[in-house]
Amino acid sequence: MSQQPDIQAVKDYLIGLQERICQRLETVDGQASFIRDSWQRPEGGGGISRVLADGGVIEKGGVNFSHVMGETMPASATAHRPHLAGAPWQAMGGVSLVIHPNNPYVPTSHANVRFFIATPEDSAPVYWFGGGYDLTPYYGFEEDCVHWHRTAKAACQPFGDSVYADYKRWCDDYFYLKHRQEPRGGVGGLFFDDYNTGDFDRDFAFMQAVGDSYIEPTSRLCAGVWISWGGNGSGNSSSTAGGAAMSSLTWCTTGGARCLDCSRAAGPSLS
């Protein structure tokens, strides 16, 4: 068990994750490349923004990394941790991304993994991880939803039997509109925050598992759906396969895909 946070290791992983995601999406898109823009924050730190636009598959996508820091924790960040007031801090907004496709059969996805650490002078460093991902299909297909959640569950399983269920539920609750008593749409995913078990190596490994697990199902959906249903980049599909897809939709009336364990309206849990 390691309790000493390794800030450089986290940063190296996140920059590497950004690069791997961009490489995979460029390969899937086959037409456009990410434009890279490095920036600096006057108060401390900076980041790398990467944007792909007008691609063969992706209309627009952004994959961003940030690492910022300050000399004293802002008041808003210490409301629940008053012992950290005035402590130096570092925040890695980590890797944050949104991918919007051309073809409506390709879902939109969002992901974020992040790390925060404060270093009080009179006590040990305090850190936590957060992040998650979610999927918003324009047309819902059960097999895609099931694969998305099985991938998420497999990433969580080594860290405890309840981890997937807990963080899936947190994601569902986050996207639930209480005043309308319905989800905002989409099939959910994972959401976690303030993650610190006291074992830095294990906590870091969990964040890596979540970040790594996003890549395969996202590239699969972008490549697989595009190939299966056809399209010319404008979202139009006139093929027989496209017509079959339209007739096989399982989108439920409450705004979530009616598939295995994907929303409040879903069926039985994944086994």
The catalytic residues are 110
In a 10 Å sphere around its CB, with 0-12 CB exposed, 13-18 middle and 19+ buried, how is residue 121 labelled?
exposed
Amino acid symbol at 124: A
* DSSP structure string for the chain: ---S--HHHHHHHHHHHHHHHHHHHHHHH-S---EEEEEE-TTSEEEEEEEEES-SSEEEEEEEEEEEEESS--GGGSSS-GGGTT--EEEEEEEEEEEEESSTTSPEEEEEEEEEEE--TTS--EEEEEEEEEEE-SS--HHHHHHHHHHHHHHHGGG-TTHHHHHHHHHHHHTEETTTTEE-SS-EEEEEEEE--S-HHHHHHHHHHHHHHHHHHHHHIIIIIHHHH---SSS---SHHHHHHHHT--B-TTSSB-STTSSTT--SPP-
Q: Decide if 124 contacts 136 (C-beta within 8 A).
A: no
CB 26 within 8 Å of CB 18: no
CB atoms within 10 A of CB 193: 14
